[in-house]
Amino acid sequence: MRIVVLGAGNILLTDEGLGVRAIQRLPLSYCLPPAIRIIDGGTSGMEMLEDLEGLDALIMVDAIRAGKPPGTPIRLAGDAVPVFFRSKLSPHQIGLADVLATLELLGRAPKYTAILGMQPESLALGMELSETVEAGIPELLRMVADELATLGMHILPVTAEAA
């Protein structure tokens, strides 16, 4: 299987950088097999085309503005994925929406796509996550592990491997 876990977001805008910050911590928290590729997508757009084409699964991690209390974990899959890209949270969504639409047109879209994230508390200028979102990172990483498990990729926490 070819699986990408993509962290998206702008690390200069506090919680908008959630996706990038989370995927940086994923390999520090879980033992990942070579079939799982971690990509820091940042605010990238069409330059991601080659990295995302023909995947078995794409798990995107991002801040998700859903009108919930800050720090609320959110999972979008199936029909909810296109809706996510219609409600703009930041400029990087436009680029990723274009990439996924192009891949769909070419018949090379990921077979499975899920978006995992949290409701942001702040999108102000700043490089640190808000305390609320920072506190939710471990749960978000567990969500990524659970999503990978549904795809048949059971990953172990780093501490479990060392034991």
Ordered per-residue pLDDT tens for the chain, 163 residues:
999 999 999 999 999 999 999 999 999 999 999 999 999 998 888 888 999 999 999 999 999 988 999 999 999 998 888 777 766 555 556 678 888 888 989 999 999 999 999 999 999 999 999 999 999 999 999 999 999 999 999 999 997 554 4
CB atoms near residue 50 (< 10 Å): 10
Greatest Cα pair distance in the chain: 47
Residue 112 confidence (pLDDT): 95
Are the CB atoms for 50 and 94 separated by under 8 Å? no
**pLDDT number for residue 89:** 54
Domains of the chain: 3-151 (3.40.50.1450)
For residue 87, the model assigns a pLDDT of 66
- For helices 18-29 and 131-150, angle between their N-to-C axes, nearest 10 degrees: 60
- Contact predicate 32/48, CB 8 Å: no
Say how far apart CA 115 and CA 76 lie, in whole Å.
5
> 161 and 31 in contact (C-beta within 8 Å)?
yes
Q: What pLDDT, on the 0 to 100 scale, is given for residue 90?
A: 53
